[in-house]
Structure 1
């Protein structure tokens, strides 16, 4: 790009000199372009494979960041939840946006890390779906198979949701429940552990499955078809999704300034409207939510 600019300036100078005109304006224009480029900054954002909602939201955020902070966003998409935090810790990306507080806290503990939440984004209650003729969890038969995500935090969350739904009971005081913590299971529900991105696909072979909102549209499911929805209350704070950065994220002043513009863009009213539109009201903007 730089060589192209030099060649353009050289050609312009030659033509203008032949015409007997002074060569002033193009030199100023080239300097201004160089100054603008010097101030621009690119931020690599780690996300899960983006659906239509993600694309619409990040388009608005990108436009805001570009306009207000000369920030260009470059997206790095991942296919499973084990990847974005490792990429962030290793410096392959600058920030990521895919996880809730609980997932981040647990990942930090398991990996002796200290990634930091720097902004709230959304809260998406877990929803239980089926492709069979069940209208509610009460219709699930004995020995029904239910697929849940196999990562520790979403596994534990799903089991708590099944307890709240009245299908099972868990040991008291367990922070991250596993199927071995089930103390009561009147219907003898069979828990099937599946990678989060595959729970929707498993619906062809199980009675029901918890499907994270990220994967619902691509699976051809409708949000309002869920037979059970996790309640949102004071205990839900840990399920609020966040933007995360490395622990020293404030040290690089230019990047820190860029992060603040990205957050401002995310917290625009337009984003709140898009969240409501694409999720059918099932996901909630979390930066100003009041949990009761």
Structure 2
């Protein structure tokens, strides 16, 4: 038979041990709870400016949104624009936080013309500009004398299209011109007539011209197939200026919470899933720009 004194002492010791264990566990539990609270960033909304979203944009930004929400508690609010003159103005004025629609050259030129200082903060995609036709021509060699060719009328894409026409062997440009216009055409053996059209309208112009340069953004919406182009701008070392970017205001690192959110958006964009979607929706004609080597 166990001595009652010993039994009582044993009960007291066990009770003391239990209290001590709880006392030790409490700070650890509190620390773990605090750590979990700290590990989840505060919810933040980032406004991203885009051109009118096509199926590719919707698919890609859905993936990016899910990534940013999961990893940074970031909600992306999309602001859509209808022409290229709007997104940079909105960014400069603070109406949006980021935009993703333009290449380096367009951004640099816009900054010069508008006393801006917007910054590229991430590479996205490079989409070679293409020449399309609905007149049955199989190549640029088939274009007739005095053919009408529509090109985008914004300065950078206008110059880009003219350089592409030179590369295609249809015209030559004056040397040393940084941003060509039709007045910089030095020779024009086929007497090609250049028709300047808003970039969003070049696809619609196909019914009235022989061919048109159409930015990839508008190809699918026009019911065209990417690989039906009769000329494709080559991708090489000279193509760096045509790499598309995500842009921000110059002080984008000042707000630490938003800067952290921007980094999550960039990570969300520069992932394998987006690379696969770029390839899928462009029929392999556009390239993820963040990990390519231009030769």
Q: Same fold by TM (over 0.5)?
A: yes
Q: TM-score, normalised by structure 2?
A: 0.86
SS in 1 for 2:190: coil
Q: Distance in 2 between matches of 1:265 and 1:38?
A: 16
Runs of 4+ in 1 over 6 A off after TM superposition: 34-38
Q: Distance in 2 between matches of 1:91 and 1:282?
A: 34
Q: Distance in 2 between matches of 1:218 and 1:111?
A: 31
Other-structure match for 1:142: 145
Q: Please report how far the alpha carbon of residue 68 of structure 1 lies from its aligned counterpart in structure 2 after TM superposition.
A: 0.3
Other-structure match for 1:250: 253
Other-structure match for 1:14: none
Q: Deviations over 1:49-81 (max 9, x none)?
A: 000000000000000000000000000000000
Which of residues 114, 118, 122 in structure 2 aligns to 1:115? 118
Q: Does the alignment pair 1:263 with 2:266?
A: yes
Question: Which runs of no fewer than 5 residues in structure 1 stay unpaired?
Answer: 1-33
Q: Distance in 2 between matches of 1:37 and 1:135?
A: 56
Other-structure match for 2:235: 232
Other-structure match for 2:203: 200
SS in 1 for 2:284: coil
Other-structure match for 1:288: 291
Q: Deviations over 1:170-214 (max 9, x none)?
A: 000100000000010000000000000000000000000000000
Structure with greater Cα Rg: 2
Number of equivalenced pairs: 259
Other-structure match for 1:31: none
Q: Distance in 1 between matches of 2:151 and 2:44?
A: 40
Q: Distance in 1 between matches of 2:286 and 2:38?
A: 41
Q: Does the alignment pair 1:39 with 2:42?
A: yes
Q: Please report how far the alpha carbon of residue 37 of structure 1 lies from its aligned counterpart in structure 2 after TM superposition.
A: 10
Q: How does 1:95-110 map to 2 (within 5 A)?
A: 95-110=98-113
Q: Deviations over 1:209-250 (max 9, x none)?
A: 000000001100000100000000000000000000000000
Other-structure match for 2:165: 162
Say if 1:87 and 1:37 are closer, same or farther in 2 by CA, change over 3 A. farther
8 Å Cα contact 2:41/2:72 also seen in 1: no
SS in 1 for 2:150: strand
Q: How does 1:59-138 map to 2 (within 5 A)?
A: 59-138=62-141
SS in 1 for 2:246: strand
Q: Please report how far the alpha carbon of residue 156 of structure 1 lies from its aligned counterpart in structure 2 after TM superposition.
A: 0.2
Question: Which runs of no fewer than 5 residues in structure 2 stay unpaired?
Answer: 1-36
Q: Please report how far the alpha carbon of residue 35 of structure 1 lies from its aligned counterpart in structure 2 after TM superposition.
A: 9.7
